[in-house]
Structure 1
Amino acid sequence: MRISKLPRRITLGTWLMVAGLAPEHSAFADDVLAGQYYERALQAYREQNNDEAIIELKNALQQNERYVAAHVLLGDIYLQKKSLSEAEVQLNLAKQMGVDPSLIVENQAKLYTYEIRYNDLLKEIDPVRFSNELRPSLHVYRGNAYLQLNQISEALNEFDSAAQIDPSHVAAVVGRANALLKRGDLKGAELAADRAMQIQPDDHGAWFAKGSIKHASMELEEALKFYDKAIGLNPDHVDTRLARAGLLMDLKQDDKAKQDLEYVRKAYPFEPKAAYLHSVLLERNGEKEAAAKELVIAADTISSIKPEYLSAHSSTLMLSGLVNFSLQRYDLAAEYLRLYTKQFPEQSGPYKLLATILLKKNEPEQAIDLLRPIQMRNPQDQRLAYLLGNAFMQAGKHDMANIMFGKAAALSGGDDTIQTEIGLNRLAMGQEQAATQDLETAYKKNPDSLQAGIPLVALKMSQGDSESALQIAQALHKKASKNLTLLNLLGAAQVSNGQYKQARQSFEKAIESDPNFLAAQINLSKLDVGERKFDQARQRLQALHQKEPANLDILVELAKVEQSAGRLDAANDLLERAKKLDSKSLLVLLASVDLNLQMGRTTEASAAAQAAEAVDKNNLQVVDALARSYLANNNREKALGVFVRMADLARFNVKQLYKAARYQIDAGDYYEAIKTLKKAVLVDEGHIPSQIALVEMELNHGKPVFAASRAESLLKRYPKRAFPHQLLGDIALHDQNFSLANSHYQAAFELEPDTTSLMQLFDSLHKTNQSDKAFALLEQWVKKHPKDYAPMAAFANELLQIGNFKEAEKYYDLLLKQFPNEPQFLNNLAYVYLNLGNNKALSLAEQAHKLAPDQAATNDTLGWILVNSGQIEQGLHYLRNAHSLQSQDPEIRYHIAVALTKLQRNDEARQELEQALKTNRAFNGMEQAKALLEKLR
């Protein structure tokens, strides 16, 4: 459950003039110089001298490589120059340093558009997260991306969303015209294009839309006139250039077409259409070799998203499907296979492979639509029946799944073990509930079946039904009392029931019958470790090791004992010995990953994980270890790929799917996380963590309407739990329905009063103007729970806000005793000290900034103190960074304006004040800002 975060800064009110508090040495020398270079770069940029601006910005970054504002401006300039790789580097660096996303989101969208990364754009650009000022443009970028992917309805939704916010947003109207044109609605498209021209007669997009409409109507000469006008207004518009090139080719004006194509190739090297059209142009002019090279360039770029370009070469389609399937390039393989099945519908093999891909991609409905007619034509094909059963099961249509599985069982020759096989198959896919039912059915039919009984015991234990597990284990052991495997299983079931004495007896009895029975020995050592009898576990395993010095299971288990006892070096020595025996043992490598991570040796952990991957890249434990090692090494890009692979390999294992989704969320790959969570709840509706995470992700990064529907369903299913109310409160808050949010948070707090529900209720009370009630709620909780530090921090913040600095100082002192290096508390205490006249304010602000140099709070606080103490250039540098990190904060702009005024840069100061006051958001110093603006005017 999401916990509302406390503010990371206390915006500063009337600061005392602090004299004589400058550092004894020139601690800010580099930052001052960096700030000076940046200010010169900004001036050059405003004068459209980008080359000079780049030089100054690079100088600034040499002085301070973490100067966020410099990275933002440099990225913007590179993007203008079409230096896409350089722009991407700067934007990524700014993001890593915590830049305010609203400062770079349009450039990010523009970059993805230039690079034809439409899916990345749709995954990462979420207009809901931004202000109404930015949202229309972002909706338009998304709409254009959907258009490129031929998803017309989604594109129209985006353009309409933009127009709802700003009806005069011409790009939204133009986008609607283009979408309607692509749908074939020429009349609607022309009406939209005409409206765009009324809004803005010189908009190149409107002229391009009109040209496209005429082109579609085969009024070629008229279309050319509109295209010419559009390019005259914007020579750099790639779509118009390509459209005009195609039109000129139709008009047999190849030389002119070639000029447009060469322009696009130079300006947009990532655009595959130009290479393709150029190849067509060369081909019809007899330049076959050159045409072939251009086609290869085009194919390399578009093959992953446009397999239809190769549809004429049917002989290669099936092979391409098989190869790409083997490479786990499922989307591309599916496209090739679809093309193949259209040409050869009588063959069932490609349909089976395509259905397998669809199931891997969690698209069961499409698999059902694909397989149903094929299975009807081939009713004796067991594999088709089995695949269709899996598709129905994955879609939640269990009745139909049972029918198809029944047919598969009948076609298998009437084998009465089919129920067990299906159960084991579901267990392998992670469908524990369904597997349990199947195995229970099989076990009831044949209580002597170890194939059904043994995994059923394990399932019951993992599900917490230890009593049933013990009953089945006892029954199995009774029928085969000399079977040591069953005796060991009985001991495990007894441990699950808390019958440790009986379990020890079972393990010891198994060992008495066979002293070399390793499974029982290891289970007994685990029982020792659980009871913290480390010496006893160590002695037991060492005795085994002396008998079998090359046994890896014993060595690894002995290492785990040492690890549990805190003897990490000893554990490491044991694993190194194990590696010498078998450097490719997954057991050893995975244990090494865990140990190295615990020891903080992230490089060694990564090496061990990569070695394990080389052994078995499709093993979920290996993929999980690899993901953890990449995260520990802060290698996000590699981790993202691993997470997708983990989700794919997890298939129907809800626990593994949820784990993969959590990794994806932590890494910020929200689009993939939603896909993974949808798969998880499809597998198991009762998995509450997945349900909660999916609601939160849909609300914040997907489709809020889906979040609301799912949360309402959860409330009906769990009326006595707090989490559905908390989710509905979050949704109401997202919709700015603060009163409804407050009601849900109140209900959650009454059902389950804990820190999470308390803080949510506290926040909602504030938002409904019940500050007194919020204050009393916190005060009462803190008195009853003096060691619950999150509410204490919020209470200290409340005291600070109302000006009770003495009380606030008391609580911040308590908090800093527990968290001496927490920059928020240091920052806020600096504010308290200033108001109490304590001259430690500056040193605390410096300490906070040193601990958190990438937070807007610490930059703003330190910068403002320096400005007010006469160190203006030093202060301005930190204030610029604060703005880059939190650009929507009007108070930071006010502070910048004051600094600029002191530097006699009054025009720039006036602009900053106008932007600060334009937001109509109250902030400390607002009245002073108004007075200063009047003075400057």
Structure 2
Amino acid sequence: MTAATQIKLDKSDRALETLAPLLTPETQDVQALVIASDAYRARNEHAKAAALLQRAAQSDPRNASIQTLLGVAHLNMGDASLAITELETAATMDAGHYKADSLLAQTYLNRREYDKALAAIATLEKKLPGNAVTHNMRALAYLGKKDPALARKSFEQALAIDRAYFPAAANLAQLDVRDGKPDNARKRFERILQADKNNLQAMMALAELATRQAQQQETVEWLEKAIKLHPAAIPPHAALAGHHLTRRNFREALAVANAAANANPDSPEALTLLAKTQQASGDHPSAIATFNRLTQKVGHSPDAFLQLALAQIAGKQLGPARVSLQKALKLKADHVPSQETLIRLEMTENRPDAALQIARQMQAQQPDSPLGYDREGDLHLAQNNIPQAVRAYQQAIDKGAGSVGLVKWFRAQVIDNPQVAEQRLDDWLKQHPKDHAARAYAAEYAMRTGRNKEAIAHYETINRLTPNKALLLNNLANLYLLEKDRRALATAEQALKLAPNSPVVQDTLGWILVQQGQAPRGLEWLKKAVAQAPKQAAIRYHHAAALAQTGNKAQARQELEKLLADTSKFPEADAARALLKRL
């Protein structure tokens, strides 16, 4: 078996063994170097892949394909600047070679350097004239430049070249939905099906559009049609199983997932879908058995053993779960999701020292990353070791943890020394005035500590810089209400326009209306809120208070009695008891 074939069969280790005799330090065998680099790429060892490609490029310096692969390797390593240099070099080597130009344009798009992307696309178009892909990429650049009119024009040009070109239709459909024209979006996908009646992507998109419009039957019909025409395709099976799971139709979901597995007996993706569906349905033994089958098929995959461990944890099999996680880490010692899961498992079993050891292994494996120090801080905080937690979080900040690290540091420091914590947060915001995450936390902290005007100032600052955030406006409306600021109602109405189906926003608007003497109108919104969030104590109290104010005292009393029987502790519990006593 050749090395290239072994890589295709997901046996990169075997491929490297096959190639080993050819990979001497002196070799100039370009083909062997390129294939070996592909094996390392499959193992996510991108630095080794790049080193081999560098040697291949030195042996064949005018080979545009090798130069392009070298650029891709540097992209995989996260070095976009060097990748751009390599791709620019490759693009000049061969007038007939366009892959480097395409990757270069895509890299600029990913970096949001839209003018450079447009220039690269213009060069690509000379090599690849009359191609839908170039028009689609140009449209994406125009979208990045906030020019939807030119973007639409380029998307339409892509479809004029290829009526069944799905990416352009999908992008235009997104613009249609954004503009409140879902019927136009639907027609675009239907036109794709007219050009290509079996187009799977178009059927999936029509199903998703139907879901957005709460057309559940149509969603199911499109997904079932997709499965009938593409019985081995995993995505429609996954979407239909997920649809049934969200409605707790476990039998139907399992039938769909089993059909996918039966149609794809050798597919890890199909086994994963089946196992996750079994787990979501509460059948942990079956999920564990299916994940075991998955590890037998892809025994080199740490992700497979991680998923098995998560299923074992859900099934209360903690000992086997630890073994599975250890196998994952044997395959990849720095597999972060497995390390984090093992940390949680150790803490569940009251083994903080073992958990701390894993966090410190993470630090040793990734000395420039904040992650290991962040996890050490979490572990110390969980044990109420505040000084150690503060120290670890500070190390995470020093390694680049940013506002997330600062907030964690604050939560630890404020326990021992609120004054120091608050001063640090103030200083941070002065140094980073556009750090919305830190400022939002400062606003939440101010709310919790009763400093409403300070919280309002923070939220107003964020709203000026990034307007039209529903949750922020909702919080601001609540604060205005507490401070008897007449802007409360208008702010809540603005939040509702942005999130019309949010029970939290409906509750805020309804409660403000009740408090401002418009109880009948407020009750309508509170009915909608409580219907969507029947377990939220604050919403239930507001609904009961609105019932009382609109004259329905018997139902209000009934709602309050049930609320206080269900939960006796929530911020407005005393107000609820007082209202019940008055009724």
Question: Considering the TM-score relative to the shorter chain, is it more than 0.5?
Answer: yes
Shorter-chain TM-score tier: 0.5 to 0.7
Tell me the SS of whatever aligns to 1:437. helix
Residues 428/633 of structure 1: CA separation in 2 closer, same or farther (3 Å cut): farther
Instruction: Indicate if the aligned counterparts of 1:609 and 1:629 stay in contact, CA closer than 8 A.
Output: no
Structure 1 contact 830–845 (Cα < 8 Å) conserved: yes
Structure 1 counterpart of 2:244: none
For residue 750 of structure 1, the aligned residue among 368, 373, 395 is 395
Aligned to 2:490, which of 814, 835, 843? 843
Change (3 A) 1:899 1:785: same
Aligned equivalent of 1:474: 57
- C-alpha RMSD of the superposition: 5.4
Distance 1:836 1:716, change over 3 A: closer
TM-score for the superposition, normalised by structure 2: 0.60
Q: Which residue of structure 2 aligns with residue 867 of structure 1? A: 514
Q: Is the 8 A contact 2:101 2:123 kept in 1?
A: no
1:457 aligns with 37
In the alignment, residue 795 of structure 1 is paired with which amino acid? A
Q: What does residue 555 of structure 1 align with?
A: 131
Q: What's the offset of the Cα at 1:774?
A: 5.7
Offset from partner CA, 1:880-912 (integer Å, 9 cap, x none):
333344444433343334334445554543444
CA distance in structure 1 between the partners assigned to 2:86 and 2:467 by the alignment: 49
Aligned equivalent of 1:489, options 47, 60, 66: 66
- Which stretch of the first structure deviates more once superposed, 717-726 or 852-861? 717-726
Residue 717 (structure 1) aligned to one of 358, 361, 371: 361
For the pair shown, the structure with the greater C-alpha radius of gyration is 1
Q: 1:500 to 1:814 in 2, by over 3 A?
A: closer
Q: 1:890 aligns with which of 537, 544, 552?
A: 537
Establish whether residue 428 from structure 1 lines up as the match of residue 8 from structure 2. Answer: yes
Change (3 A) 1:915 1:605: same
Determine if contact 1:893/1:912 at 8 Å carries over to the other structure.
yes
Partner residue, 1:53: none
Q: Residues 857 and 771 (structure 1 numbering): CA distance in 2 closer, same or farther, change over 3 Å?
A: farther
Q: Is the 8 A contact 2:57 2:66 kept in 1?
A: no
Partner Cα separation in structure 2 for residue 650 and residue 687 of structure 1 = 31
| d(CA) in 2 for partners of 1:775, 1:495 | 46
The 5 Å alignment of 1:387-466 reads 418=1, 420-421=2-3, 424-425=5-6, 427-428=7-8, 434=13, 437-438=16-17, 440-441=19-20, 443-444=22-23, 452-458=32-38, 463-465=46-48
**Residue number in structure 2 paired with 1:174:** none
AA aligned to 2:51 is S
- Work out the percentage of aligned pairs sharing the same amino acid: 20
| Counterpart residue number, 1:855 | 502
Residues 724, 898 of structure 1: alpha-carbon distance in 2 compared, 3 angstrom cutoff: same
8 Å CA contact 1:731–1:741 kept in 2: the answer is: no
* Cα distance, 1:632–1:835 mapped onto 2, change above 3 Å: same
How do residues 672-691 of structure 1 correspond to structure 2 at under 5 angstroms? 678-679=303-304, 681=306, 682=328, 685=332, 688=335, 690-691=337-338
CA distance in 2, matches of 1:448, 1:872: 83
1:821 equivalent in alignment to 2:461: no
Residues 663-710 of structure 1: CA deviation (Å, up to 9, x unaligned): x99xx99999996984275596367565478679x98xxx97799999
One-letter amino acid matched to 1:472: R
Mapped contact 2:459–2:476 kept (Cα < 8 A): yes
Cα-to-partner distance string for 1:595-634 (whole Å, 9 max, x where unaligned): 557756754469769988947x8xxxx7xx9878866775
Q: For the residues of structure 2 that align with 1:866 and 1:453, how far apart are their CA atoms?
A: 71
Aligned partner of 2:362: which letter?
A: Y
Distance 1:812 1:899 in 2: 28
**Mapping for residues 307-386 of structure 1, pairs under 5 Å:** none
The unaligned stretches of length 5 or more in structure 2 are 75-81, 109-115, 143-149, 178-184, 213-218, 224-234, 240-256, 295-301, 307-327
Counterpart position of 1:812: 459
Equivalent-residue separation in structure 2 for 1:741 and 1:891 (angstroms): 33
The residue type equivalent to 1:739 in the other structure is N
Q: CA deviation at 1:787?
A: 0.7
Question: Given that residues 695 and 710 in structure 1 are in contact (C-alpha distance below 8 angstroms), is that contact kept between their aligned partners in structure 2?
Answer: no
Letter of the aligned partner of 1:921 in structure 2?
Answer: K
In structure 2, the partner of 1:285 is: none
Name the SS of the counterpart of 2:438 in structure 1.
helix
Match of 1:641 in 2: 237
Which letter does structure 2 place at the counterpart of 1:825? L
Q: Does residue 523 of the first structure (1) align with residue 523 of the second (2)?
A: no
1:718 is paired with a residue whose SS is helix
Provide the residue aligned with 1:576 in structure 2. 159
Structure 1 position 493, deviation (Å): 2.5
Q: Which residue identity is paired with 1:579?
A: D
Is 1:786 aligned to residue 471 of structure 2?
Answer: no
Unaligned runs of 5+ in 1: 1-417, 479-483, 512-517, 546-553, 584-588
Q: Residues 492-532 of structure 1, C-alpha deviation per residue, up to 9 Å, x if partnerless?
A: 42685638778766665555xxxxxx3x2443565578682
Distance 1:744 1:857, change over 3 A: same
Superposition pairs of residues 725-764 of structure 1, within 5 angstroms:
737=382, 739=384, 747-752=392-397, 753-762=401-410
1:75 aligns with none
Gap change, CA 1:838 and 1:758, over 3 Å in 2: same
Report the secondary structure of 1:739's partner residue.
Answer: coil
CA contact (8 A) 1:652 1:680 kept: no
TM normalised by structure 1 equals 0.40
Provide the C-alpha distance between the structure 1 equivalents of 2:101 and 2:439, rounded to a whole number of angstroms.
Answer: 46
1:879 is aligned to 2:526: yes
Q: Could you tell me which residue of structure 2 aligns to residue 538 of structure 1?
A: 122
- Look up the equivalent residue of 1:750 and give its one-letter code: Q
Paired letter, 1:820: P
Q: Return the alpha-carbon distance in structure 2 between the equivalents of residues 609 and 430 of structure 1.
A: 35
Separation of aligned partners in 1, 2:265 and 2:412: 38
8 A contact 1:910–1:933 mirrored in 2:
yes
Structure 1 residues 687, 614: CA separation in 2 closer, same or farther (over 3 Å shift)?
farther
Question: Does the Cα contact within 8 Å between 2:526 and 2:542 map onto a contact in 1?
Answer: yes
Distance 2:553 2:137 in 1: 70
